[in-house]
Amino acid sequence: MAAGADETFTSDAQKFYEGELHKSITDAFNAFANEGKNTVDVRRIGPIIRSLGCFPTETELHSLLAEMEDEEPTGYIELETFLPVMTKMIKDGRYKPIPGDAILAAFQVLDQDDKGYLTPEELIHYMMQAGEPFTQAEMDEMISAAVDADRHIILYEDFVSKLVIEDRYL
């Protein structure tokens, strides 16, 4: 293959990738969009970003919102503003999820007795008292997903498999 053909192939592949990426971002945005409008309430931007495989902290999310909001914030973000910011974020590999083995290792550190599980009370204590604390609503959602209904414990190896996000774009 000639050098020019290689460049054309690379350019075509890049255009295809970017088109698919824009479609995924637009689809995620539209799932939360106000009916009949190309806007989303700023409070929904975090879930949209996370649905696309990026996981900024709350502080980072507030910085992103400030970057996206107009000079006079309206409480809404337009797709035209969101799309380039999100595209760059994904292409730059920013806010990638933590790998499953690192999450498992963190649970193992919390499991000081090496039982292979945590109680809901233990997890609530750790998640609301250390690091960037979860809100009560976030904690309730996590507990409902994490707790084994029959044994009322968190089998963290099973839970980690629910938390791991596949990297779709990089």
Are 104 and 82 part of one and the same domain? no
Read off the pLDDT band of 161 (50, 70, 90). Answer: confident
Enclosing H/E stretch for 14: helix 3-32
Domain tally, the chain = 2
Q: Considering the chain, what is the average pLDDT of its residues?
A: 86
Are 7 and 49 part of one and the same domain? yes
Are 83 and 13 part of one and the same domain? yes
Domain boundary among 62, 91, 120: 91
* Range(s) of the domain holding residue 149: 100-163
Are 18 and 87 part of one and the same domain? yes
Domain boundary among 91, 122, 140: 91
Measured CA to CA, the distance from residue 65 to residue 160 in angstroms comes to 29
| Sequence-separated (6 or more) residues with CB below 8 Å from residue 69 | 42, 77
Are 85 and 106 part of one and the same domain? no
Are 122 and 69 part of one and the same domain? no
pLDDT at 170: 44
Segment 65-91 mean pLDDT: 88
pLDDT for 93-131, tens place per residue? 899 888 889 999 999 999 999 999 999 999 998 888 877
Segment 143-165 mean pLDDT: 89
Are 86 and 7 part of one and the same domain? yes
Domain-located, residue 168: no
pLDDT at 106: 93
Specify the range with the lowest mean pLDDT, choosing from 47-51, 66-70, 156-160, 161-165.
161-165
Residues in the chain: 170
Are 79 and 143 part of one and the same domain? no
Domain-located, residue 170: no
Domain containing residue 86: CATH number: 1.10.238.10
Segment 21-30 mean pLDDT: 93
Are 86 and 128 part of one and the same domain? no
Are 36 and 53 part of one and the same domain? yes
Are 104 and 87 part of one and the same domain? no
Are 66 and 118 part of one and the same domain? no
Contacts 24+ apart (CB under 8 A), 58-66: 58/132, 59/132, 60/95, 64/89
